[in-house]
Amino acid sequence: MSASLSEPVTSDLVAPGAATALLEAYRPGGDRFLATPHHTLLGSGTATEVPHDARPPARRVRDTLAARRAAGDPGPVVVGSIPFAPGAPAALAVPENVRWAPPLREDPLVALPVPRTGQRPDWQVTEVPAPERYAEAVAAAVARMRAGEFDKVVLARTLELTSPHRLDLPGMLRSLARRDPGGYTFAVPTGPGRTLIGASPELLVARRGGQLTANPLAGSAPRSGDLAEDVRRAVALLESPKDLHEHAVVVAAVRAALAPFCTRLDVPERPTLVRTEAMWHLSTTVTGDLADEDVTALDLASALHPTPAVCGTPTDVARAVIAESEPFDRGPYTGMVGWQNADGDGEWVVTIRCAEAEGRGLRLFAGAGVVAASSPEAETAETGAKFRTFLNAVGAEL
């Protein structure tokens, strides 16, 4: 079934199983899959790639969609990812065919047992950097913050997983989606033979008509399999001065970035909790009314990116610390992944809880927000907990 966002599909129009059918239909290479709490999208083939040039990404996307519409495409949609580094090439395209369905969380078939990926659990796992090196980088950043150089930085590390067998990307995607059907699950090509795949809990921004929604997350705690301990950790997170401060820094930055676009911006005073299979997060849902109907979803996302939740503050200093501290290129990690139509509506998600697949290898990413009150041991443990989302989906262990 095809639809544009101006005519969104709803559960009373589509038979049960429509969303999971798109999930089952995904094939790597030529397909782009994105499931959100509002829609499930599968794009097949490539009608047009968004060019890489000196124009800002939001302008390139707007111009590409306008050209497609002028050429007779009644409902063009751009789908893909934008990397963390400013100016780096994005992987954005208009698919030849886009099918829409209701959200996975409304599909009763998604409650079926999580299928096996078909991936054999004989992964070779390499940590980059090693945990002790990562802890040293956190300690160095904390010392600089206590000296007053900057306020926050998000430092990441990676796991490099290598398999002797061909990767089962459709199986990984199904496993990720069924483990958290209310989140944001994606699989999009990022280059020849490369696929970005993941399940993010964090909406950067969505626009529908004259309204926007953003949902910054900052401040985290690992889940526990023991119910009483899990509740204790959730309550402790809500009361943690360190995590509340980290969250407040991010929310303030989101408010400052979005306020110039809005006639009304509603920012709750205190965060709530959201949970994934592996983590608790402090969460604030920001809503607003746009002053200018020509402002697109990607215009808003570009104004927000990168938030202190994935980079730090001040942004320029945090970027420099990241470049000095991380022995790898983030690529699409902590960028954004999403979609936008020719009317400017769309959803852009923070690219976390993800991996980039190439050949028989996966590179997993996880980061932690480091502030002056941070502990190197605690931040290292937090990244380990965040890796669990993907490790569980592929049957690997750290």
Distance in angstroms (rounded) separating the CA atoms of residues 351 and 357? 14
The size of the chain, in residues, is 398
User: Do 240 and 378 contact (CB within 8 A), yes or no?
Assistant: no
Distance in angstroms (rounded) separating the CA atoms of residues 79 and 71? 19
Q: What is the DSSP letter of 344?
A: S
Is the Cα dihedral 240, 246, 248, 250 positive or negative?
negative
Q: What is the DSSP letter of 108?
A: G
Bridge partners of 312?
153
Catalytic residue IDs: 152, 202
Residue 186 DSSP SS3? strand
End-to-end alpha carbon distance in the chain:
41
Distance in angstroms (rounded) separating the CA atoms of residues 274 and 180? 12
Within its chain, how far is the Cα of 12 from the centroid? 29
